[in-house]
Structure 1
Amino acid sequence: MWPWGHLAVVYLCYSLHCRRRDWPPRALSVIVLAIGSQFPDLVDKPLAWTFDVLPGGRTLAHSVFVAALLLPTVALAARRFDRRDLGTAFAVGHVSHLLADIPPSAILTADASELTFLVWPLLPPSPYESVDGILAGFLRYSMGWYEWAQLGLVLIALVVWYRDGLPGTGYARDVVERITGRNDAREGI
């Protein structure tokens, strides 16, 4: 699944969870959720495609063994700072990424050979097209039914995010203003 697909899936799940609890999506949780949803690819893709350190783009950070170490560590850190909601948001993002990376064909045909990335390094990564760098991966992008389905999810997620009040944008803007020392509202921009 592509980054925008992962983000759409996890945001729709989070928004539904918030609606069921009758509280609005929280800005910082949405940002951490987004980071968690991208984390496995942010680790594995550069290390495999650009630096040739890993044997594939779904290996180290896609492994349940790394998740078993990473997620409790994140939970402990979140508890330490009294922000368990952020630890949960990261975990939900990370786990949703792993689940969303299971190819539909593996589910439809019950072909477990496409799930080996989940137990890397015990089993070799699932075979898929080799990419000569991240930019090459994007340049060779093509639209099949699965990509169109992801795009549909993205459009639905954008509508839901808008209806939720664009959570995360104000917080991100405030952080950028603090870092740069600017306040666009004061400067008339």
Structure 2
Amino acid sequence: MVVGTLLPDLVDKPLAVAVGGPFASGRTVAHSLLFAIPAILVFGSVLRRCRGPAVPVVLFAVGYVSHPFLDASVFLLQGTLARDLVEVGFVLWPVGLPADGIFQLLEQLPAIDRAIEAKPRWTARHVPSGARLSRYIRVVELALASAATVLWLADDAPGAEALRDR
């Protein structure tokens, strides 16, 4: 799961630094589901041949797919829907999302139209920003890391013996 969660950044961040240009955002190739799905299938087939059970493949897939969606969730909590749809286009890089078409379709629905207009006000009122948001994020990260550590220890720290043997 750790490898799957980190893989998009391990590929895209160095690519952004080394190549720049269309890759400069740091959310391109490996953050795209068009790359993630084949990567999961290849990793899965290799891992299944080497290890057997499908559990590691599922964990890798959940970690990998959750990364771009959690990156996109930050954008979807901010600003206007039209800008947000453009910002989260990396989930289908290089194709992108048809933001204009989605936005026009949503504008035709009266209830959705009101929600689109109200989104910036709702965000400003309910979603923390700046230093306050950073504190919330750090608390959640610490809580998740602590829970993972407790579960790992409760499961008799699998994998630790391999490190001790070296």
Same fold at TM > 0.5: yes
How far 1:102 sits from its partner (Å)? Answer: 0.7
Residues of 2 paired with 1:42 and 1:146: CA distance? Answer: 25
CA distance 1:119–1:168, change in 2 (3 Å): farther
How far 1:156 sits from its partner (Å)? Answer: 1.4
Residues of 1 paired with 2:10 and 2:140: CA distance? Answer: 21
Residues of 2 paired with 1:103 and 1:175: CA distance? Answer: 37
How far 1:118 sits from its partner (Å)? Answer: 1.2
Unmatched 5+ residue regions in structure 1? 1-32, 125-142, 181-189
CA distance 1:79–1:47, change in 2 (3 Å): same
- 8 Å CA contact retained: 2:69, 2:91: no
CA distance 1:167–1:102, change in 2 (3 Å): farther
Deviation per CA, 1:21-75, whole angstroms, max 9, x where unpaired? Answer: xxxxxxxxxxxx11111110011111212x2253321111001110121111122
TM-score, length-scaled by structure 2: 0.65
Q: 1:151 aligns with which of 138, 155, 158?
A: 138
**Greater share of helix residues, 1 or 2?**
2
- 8 Å CA contact retained: 1:103, 1:114: no
How far 1:112 sits from its partner (Å)? Answer: 0.5
Q: What corresponds to 1:97 in structure 2?
A: 67
How far 1:98 sits from its partner (Å)? Answer: 1.0
TM-score, length-scaled by structure 1: 0.58
1:55-134 alignment runs, 5 A limit:
55-80=24-49, 81-107=51-77, 109-110=80-81, 111-123=84-96
- Sequence identity, in percent? 27
Unmatched 5+ residue regions in structure 2? 98-129
Q: Which structure carries more relative contact order (alpha carbon 8 Å, separation 6+)?
A: 1
Provide the alpha-carbon RMSD of the alignment.
Answer: 2.6
**Higher gyration radius (CA):** 2
Residues of 1 paired with 2:154 and 2:89: CA distance? Answer: 36
